[in-house]
Structure 1
Amino acid sequence: MILPWRKRRANKMNNKQLCDGLDVEVMIPTHFQCPISLDLMKDPVTLCTGITYDRESIERWIEAGNETCPVTKQVSKTFDLIPNHILRRFIQDWCVENRSHGVERIPTPRVPVSPYQVSEACSRIVDATQRGDGNKCGELVKKIKNWGKESERNKRCVVENGTGCSLSATFESFASVSLEKHMNLLREILSVLSWFFPLGEEGRSKLVSESSLHCIIWFLRNGDLSSRQNAILVLKELLYSDETHVISKTLLEIEEVVETLVHLIKEPISPTATKASLMAIYYLITSMVSNGKITSRFLEMGLVPVIVEIIVEAEKSVCEKALAVLDAICNTEKGKEEAYKNALIMPVLVKKILRVSNSATELSLSIFWKLCKNEIMKDEESAIIDAIQLGAFQKLLVILQVGCGETTKEKVTKLLKLLNVYKNRVDCVDSSMDFKYLKRPF
């Protein structure tokens, strides 16, 4: 195999004395190439069949469910990967010999963490927690965190060997003792816990306790940017699996929860945190225990204008989640009233139909229908006429033409009937709609 390496500058000599831009083709020895990827091996490992592969390539092969050696086709009872240190040193020496041609020396790989090492670390964390030794727990948590940072393989090994349950128990234990005293430890645990969802029932039971939830909310309000993001990711996942609504009940009793979540989307720290915050708000609003009370609290904090502003310019994923929150808000009469008060609501909804995704279109239609059929609003006629002038009627017709689900079709048909009553009252209908999303018949 021939691989071109660009000759790099060896020093800061005059450019005229350098062969700058010269392409030099260097032959990679065949026995240095991985039989799977045909690339230079960075971490050569040998199977029981005697064939050597690059670790990353053979691990992908095994994880795909293959039970044979890729080269010999022999069925293997064991896939123990034995590091080939001698071959790796030969590869590194070859890289050094060809460094003048731009070949970089491969670093000495770290030995992947084993399930035994992870289980041993978990046992030591449990023991240190029972003794109340926060310092020792902190050392072990950092060790686990560093394992995960080294490679995705290590992270999977950590996740699959009971670490989440141990860390959840440690988090609850020290959160109930003193948040201020063990703040650093609790922060580190939160940063690792974001890897582990969905957690097992035992691990969840520790994180949904009152002391754990109070600690998570504290980090949402007072933590640094990283801690706040980790806290909202953990809270979102807990609410997602909150089938018994225990978490929602507890959160409703914690002060400033609503204010904190609204602040996270009003002053975003990252797209990841914004999406997690929107989903947490959605789960709270749609919770069976809220009875509209939690929605009222969100409305008092000005959630509707914040959500509408997000929808205007947000990327696809954030837009869909924001629309889902707005749709949930409009399930209450007070929510629909607040939505009607916002001058941007109709323009935004009409604009997002057929513009973002099928999910965003369906959510926009759902909100549109809830607002249009709101009988208590005195300015219903004005709002519907505004929607027609913005091109809603044409877009609804297009949805029927391009095809949609039965539920959406029924909703669109009802909307068309409703809008048709007011259509003749509109002096000027916006017909400058973009039809590029329509499939051509040829």
Structure 2
Amino acid sequence: MISSWMRRRAARHAGKKREQDENSGMELTIPNDFRCPISLDLMKDPVTLSTGTTFDRESIETWIEAGNHCCPITKQALTTLEPIPNHVIRKMIQDWCVDNQSYGIERIPTPRIPVSSLDVSEMLSKVMAAKQVEDGEGCRVLVAKMKALAKESERNRRCIVRNGTASVLSATFEAFAKASFGDEIIQVLEEILSALTLMFPLDGDAKSHLGSTASLHCMVWLLKCGDLSVRRNAVLALKEVLSSDHQQKVECLAQIEGAMEALVKLIKEPICPTTTKASLMAIYYMVSSSSLANRKAMARFVEMGLVSLLLEILVDSERSISEKALGVLDGLCSCEEGRENAYLHALTMPVLVKKILRVSDLATEFSVSILWKLSKIEKREEEEGVDVLVEALQVGAFQKLLLLLQVGCGERTKEKATELLKLLNQLHRDRTGGLRLRCTEARLGPQFLFRCTFDSPN
């Protein structure tokens, strides 16, 4: 009995295979009503405009987001930019797909209805109401819902961002940051930061709320005490806040206890490359100014061993991290403590020379700038200066700088490279039979050609 059943099943499979083989040679025509007028492909999510024409959602939303406010077929002005799902056409397309499965057509899934501007406005109104009565749990649930919708599709994320969600959530974060800390408050703060990371870059209003003293204190606390994902979100938010008009916020952040230590810890004990880059950028903003507060921050970072840590990272790191680490090191070398630490480290010269013309133009600029800054302190102590110049010469700095000038670089970098070559020239003459370096410029069309040659002193 079992064997007869197996024979019948095998016969059915054989019949289906023959049918598919017969159909494979036939061309299937998609009904015109099921094609999108824009893409001419089978519609997966048919929607109808106010003019009555039906399109695939992705195609017509791309058309509208390009700034077109008329129907691409009828050219009539749209009374609303929100397309309406056409469930009738969608069901007909699904039935057609099922009927033609033998041709290899798969049934299109029922699409989820995307979030609308009205939906977002209603949720934001509820968030603001929850903020007014300090309903942390209610606010957390709403924020989690918006975050889930933003993750569902890029279309949803753009709609949520476009309706001012980042500003409202940042204001809510600031309000709860001023409240007494408790488990409920901490959870809503963590949820808001997690949602905000999906909405970068933030607008000025959102950055203003996140850059307030209360918000910064809260983010530093989360950076120190949160789990891995919370710390990641906190450092990403800090980097975003400091990215524009950051001087006042940088000074405020530098005064918060434990802030600098937490940032350095993320580099020393990395969570992921994203957090490492964000932490390096936040530190870069803190050391890239010559203000008194920033100089104190530089000295504190040097005390924490950041110079040595950066040099170790630079030995073998990818381009983006190398650029950011060199930027931070360049900032630290603006202070005496930073230069001294870099001068004493055995990796400094080999790493910096290696990065010239090896990683990127930006990395080259930072490397030359650091070498130039180190050369400034050595003039005060001639004996030490000779040691550093000898080391630079030994690891190939002279040849690299010559090549840099011949290849071309920015004006400021060229000036620093030329000055470094002059400092190295005295030692180089001893190794080239008394030849002196002569640098000249010649105009070649709209560009300058930089030439370096050696002349006999006689």
Shorter-chain TM-score category? 0.7 to 0.9
Cα shift readout 1:106-142 (whole Å, capped 9, x = no counterpart): 2222222222221221111111111121121112111
| Residue matched to 1:436 | none
| Residue matched to 1:27 | 28
More helix by share: 2
Cα shift readout 1:28-79 (whole Å, capped 9, x = no counterpart): 6153343433443221223345443221122222222345544456665654
Distance 1:102-1:339 versus aligned 2 partners, 3 A rule: farther
8 A Cα contact 2:150 2:198, kept in partner: no
The answer to whether residue 354 in structure 2 is matched with residue 356 in structure 1 is no
Distance 2:345 2:107 in 1: 61
Q: Choose which of 396, 408, 412 in structure 2 pairs with 1:403.
A: 408
| Residue matched to 2:390 | 385
The answer to whether residue 92 in structure 2 is matched with residue 90 in structure 1 is yes
Q: Helix, strand or coil: the match of 1:90?
A: helix
Relative to the length of structure 2, the TM-score reads: 0.82
Distance 1:30 1:420 in 2: 79
Structure 1 position 102, deviation (Å) = 5.2
Q: Any gaps of 5 or more consecutive residues in structure 2?
A: 1-9, 433-458
| Residue matched to 2:316 | 313
Distance 2:155 2:279 in 1: 29
Distance 1:244-1:400 versus aligned 2 partners, 3 A rule: closer
8 A Cα contact 1:28 1:40, kept in partner: no
Q: Where do residues 64-213 of structure 1 align in structure 2 (5 Å cutoff)?
A: 64-71=66-73, 79-99=81-101, 103-181=105-183, 182-213=185-216
Q: Helix, strand or coil: the match of 1:27?
A: coil
| Residue matched to 1:330 | 333
Q: Where do residues 45-64 of structure 1 align in structure 2 (5 Å cutoff)?
A: 45-64=47-66
Counting matched residue pairs gives 412
Distance 1:102 1:382 in 2: 75
Larger Rg: 2
Structure 1 position 367, deviation (Å) = 1.0
Letter in 2 for 1:338: N
Identity, % of aligned positions: 56
| Residue matched to 2:298 | 295
Residues 207-216 or 72-81, more deviating: 72-81
Structure 1 position 299, deviation (Å) = 0.8
8 A Cα contact 2:127 2:142, kept in partner: yes
Letter in 1 for 2:419: K
Q: Where do residues 412-427 of structure 1 align in structure 2 (5 Å cutoff)?
A: 412-426=417-431
Distance 2:316 2:103 in 1: 48
Distance 1:79 1:130 in 2: 32
Letter in 2 for 1:134: G
Distance 1:24-1:383 versus aligned 2 partners, 3 A rule: farther
Q: Helix, strand or coil: the match of 1:290?
A: helix
Residues 114-123 or 99-108, more deviating: 99-108
Letter in 2 for 1:319: S
Distance 1:293 1:104 in 2: 65
Q: Any gaps of 5 or more consecutive residues in structure 1?
A: 1-12, 428-442
Distance 1:270 1:85 in 2: 44
Residues 332-341 or 234-243, more deviating: 234-243
Cα shift readout 1:409-428 (whole Å, capped 9, x = no counterpart): 2222222222221114459x
Distance 1:222 1:100 in 2: 58
| Residue matched to 1:4 | none
Letter in 1 for 2:55: Y
Q: CA RMSD in A?
A: 2.8
8 A Cα contact 1:385 1:426, kept in partner: no
Distance 1:103-1:299 versus aligned 2 partners, 3 A rule: farther
Cα shift readout 1:361-384 (whole Å, capped 9, x = no counterpart): 111111111112322454222222
Cα shift readout 1:139-170 (whole Å, capped 9, x = no counterpart): 21112112211212221221222222322222
Distance 2:329 2:29 in 1: 58
8 A Cα contact 1:249 1:289, kept in partner: no
Q: Helix, strand or coil: the match of 1:105?
A: coil
Q: Where do residues 208-287 of structure 1 align in structure 2 (5 Å cutoff)?
A: 208-243=211-246, 245=248, 247-287=249-289
Distance 1:405 1:201 in 2: 32
Relative to the length of structure 1, the TM-score reads: 0.84
Residues 100-109 or 290-299, more deviating: 100-109
Deviating beyond 6 angstroms after TM superposition, the runs of 4 or more aligned structure 1 residues are 16-19
8 A Cα contact 1:68 1:74, kept in partner: yes
Distance 1:244-1:419 versus aligned 2 partners, 3 A rule: closer
Cα shift readout 1:343-401 (whole Å, capped 9, x = no counterpart): 11111111111111111111111111111232245422222222222222222222222
Q: Helix, strand or coil: the match of 1:233?
A: helix
8 A Cα contact 2:82 2:116, kept in partner: no
8 A Cα contact 1:248 1:289, kept in partner: no
8 A Cα contact 1:385 1:423, kept in partner: no
